[in-house]
Structure 1
Amino acid sequence: MPRLSGDLIVAACRTLPLGLVAAAGGTGLLMAALSRTTGEAGEWLALPLLRVAILAFAMGLVFLLDDPARHTTATVPTPRPVRIALRVGLVAPVVAAWWTAALLLVPRDLRPPVADITLEAGSAFALAVAAAVVAVRRSDIARPGPRLAAGLLTSAMLALLFWPGRWALFVPVQDERWAAAHDRWAVVAVAALLVGVLGAGEPVRRWSWPVVRGR
C-alpha cells in the first residue's frame, strides 16, 4: 500500500468540505439539544429528535468526497481507494466526537439504549459515505453532494412513511419490534460498508449525468 506523505494528508485536509460538515453537525446538535427543552413531552420526543440529528449529520457526510479538482487529482499516482480511505480516516474522529456530544446533549433519563441508537447512527453515516463513494465512481460530476443530500432526505421520509411495518426500522424503544429493527439496522450497516469498500476502486466506466441544453 502506498505510503501516505505529509503533503498528501495536508492536501486532503484542504479539500475536505469541513464547512458543510460543520453546518450539518451544528444543526444535528441543535436538534439533540432540543430534547432538554421539551418538558413532559421529552420522554417521547427525545428519540425522534436524536434520529433527526443523525439524519442532519449524515446529510453533511454525503459531501465528504466532493472535490472541485477531482478531475485533476484523478491523474495523481495515489490510487483512488487510498484517497477515499484518507478522507474517511480524517473525518472519523470528528464523527466520533460529534456522536458523543449528541448523546450527551440528551438527558440521561431520556436517552435511548446507547448501543442500539449508535448502531442506527453508524448505519446512517455508512450509508451516506457509501452513497458518496458510488456517486464519485459512477459519474463525472465533481460535487454530487447536493443531489445525494436530497436523495438521502427523500429516502428517509419514504422509509418513515411507507416502509412495511413488519420490516420497520424506526420504532419506539417500547415497541416489541425494537430488537428485530436493530437486527435490520445491522444488515444495513454491513451492506453499506460492503458497497463503500467495493465502490472505492477505480471505475471501468462512468455514468453521465443528464445535461439539459438550451436551444
Structure 2
Amino acid sequence: MRVVNGVASELVRPVGRTVPWWALGAAGVVGLLLVAVARWTGGGEPSPHAALLALRGAALAGGLGLASLLDDPARHTTAAVPVPRPARQALRAALVAPLVALWWTAVLFLVPAEVRPPAGGITLEAGAVALLALAAAAAVVRLTDRTRPGRAVATALLVAAVVSPLFVPDSWAVFVQSGDPRWAESHDRWAVALAAAAAVWAASAREPVRRGWGRRRLPAGTRPGTGR
C-alpha cells in the first residue's frame, strides 16, 4: 500500500500536465458568460425563468467540459504503472474538483438572489450532469481503446439534453420551473440519476478483465489433468 501511495503522489504532477485544462477552462468561461448575458439582457435582474435557463445552460457547459477530463493520449502507456485505473481517475477528479466548486459558486452568485432558484436543487442538477459525463467517459475508456472519449461523450450529452425534453412525458419531467409543484419530485429523479452515474463510474473505472486470467497455458498437444 505504501508503494502504491508513493507512486500515486509521484503521479500528481504528470497527471496534472495531461488534464485538458483548456477544455475545462473554455467550458467554464462559456458557463459564466451564459449567466452574465442573462443578467445583462435582463437589466441587471433577469426573470426567474431566464435565470434558471442560464444556470442549466452553465451546468450543461460544465458537463461538456468534464466529458474530456479522462482524455489521455498516453493511456496505453500509463496502464503499466502500479497505480490502478480507479486511483488514476480519482486523482484527475481530485485535481479539478476544488476549481469546479469555486466556478459553480461564482455562477450561482452571478444570479441575483431575488430570482435565483433553490441552490440545492440546481446544484443537484449540475452535479448529476457532471457525474453523467464522467461516467460515460469512463465507460468509453473501459469498453474501447479510445484515448480521447471527451468529444463523443460531449456530443451525446448535448444531444440528450436537447432531445430528452421532447420525448420524456410530463409525469417524468426533470426540467421544471422552480415554482412548479413538480420541482421536488423532479429532483428526486435527479438524485437517482446522480447515484446511478456514480455507480456506473465506479464500475467502469476498474481495470478491464483479461481473458484467461488465472489459467495456466498448457503446451500444445497436452491434455488438461494429465500433464501429457
Identify whether the pair has TM-score above 0.5, normalized to the shorter chain. yes
Query: Aligned residues, how many?
Result: 206
Q: Which runs of 5+ in 1 are unaligned?
A: 206-215
Letter aligned with residue 25 of structure 2: A
> 8 Å contact 1:31–1:53 — kept in the other structure?
yes
Q: Which residue of 2 aligns with 1:125?
A: 130
> 8 Å contact 1:38–1:45 — kept in the other structure?
no
Letter aligned with residue 39 of structure 2: R
Shift of 1:119: 0.6
SS of the equivalent of 1:3 reads helix
Shift of 1:185: 0.5
- Distance in 2 (CA, whole Å) between partners of 1:173 and 1:87 is 34
Shift of 1:160: 2.0
Q: Does 2:63 match 1:91? A: no
Shift of 1:70: 0.9
Q: Which residue of 1 aligns with 2:208?
A: 203
SS of the equivalent of 1:157 reads helix
Equivalent of 1:3 in 2, 5, 9: 5
Letter aligned with residue 27 of structure 2: A
> 8 Å contact 1:32–1:53 — kept in the other structure?
yes
Q: Does 2:61 match 1:59? A: no
Q: Which residue of 2 aligns with 1:111?
A: 116
- Distance in 2 (CA, whole Å) between partners of 1:178 and 1:82 is 36
1:108-130: CA deviation from partner (whole Å, max 9, x where unpaired)? 11110011111111111111111
SS of the equivalent of 2:114 reads helix
Q: Which residue of 1 aligns with 2:17?
A: 14
Q: Which residue of 2 aligns with 1:161?
A: 166
Q: Which residue of 1 aligns with 2:35?
A: 32
> 8 Å contact 2:125–2:190 — kept in the other structure?
yes
Task: Please say which of residues 156-165 and 49-58 is displaced more in the overlay.
Answer: 156-165
Percentage identity across aligned positions?
53
> 8 Å contact 2:34–2:58 — kept in the other structure?
yes
Q: Does 2:175 match 1:170? A: yes
- Distance in 2 (CA, whole Å) between partners of 1:43 and 1:76 is 50
> 8 Å contact 2:165–2:175 — kept in the other structure?
yes
- Distance in 2 (CA, whole Å) between partners of 1:99 and 1:90 is 16
- Distance in 2 (CA, whole Å) between partners of 1:129 and 1:4 is 26
Shift of 1:198: 1.2
Shift of 1:68: 0.8
Letter aligned with residue 102 of structure 1: V
Superposition CA RMSD, Å: 1.5
- Distance in 2 (CA, whole Å) between partners of 1:30 and 1:146 is 22
- Distance in 1 (CA, whole Å) between partners of 2:189 and 2:78 is 38
1:12-47: CA deviation from partner (whole Å, max 9, x where unpaired)? 100100000000111011111123123275232110
Letter aligned with residue 62 of structure 1: A
- Distance in 1 (CA, whole Å) between partners of 2:189 and 2:48 is 25
Question: Structure 2-normalised TM-score?
Answer: 0.86
Shift of 1:4: 4.3
- Distance in 1 (CA, whole Å) between partners of 2:203 and 2:187 is 24
1:127-165: CA deviation from partner (whole Å, max 9, x where unpaired)? 111111111111101111111110000011111222111
Letter aligned with residue 129 of structure 1: L
Q: Which runs of 5+ in 2 are unaligned?
A: 211-228
Between structure 1 and structure 2, the one with the greater Rg is: 2
Query: Taking structure 1 as reference, are residues 103 and 4 closer, same or farther at Cα in structure 2, changes over 3 Å only?
Result: farther
Q: Which residue of 2 aligns with 1:210?
A: none
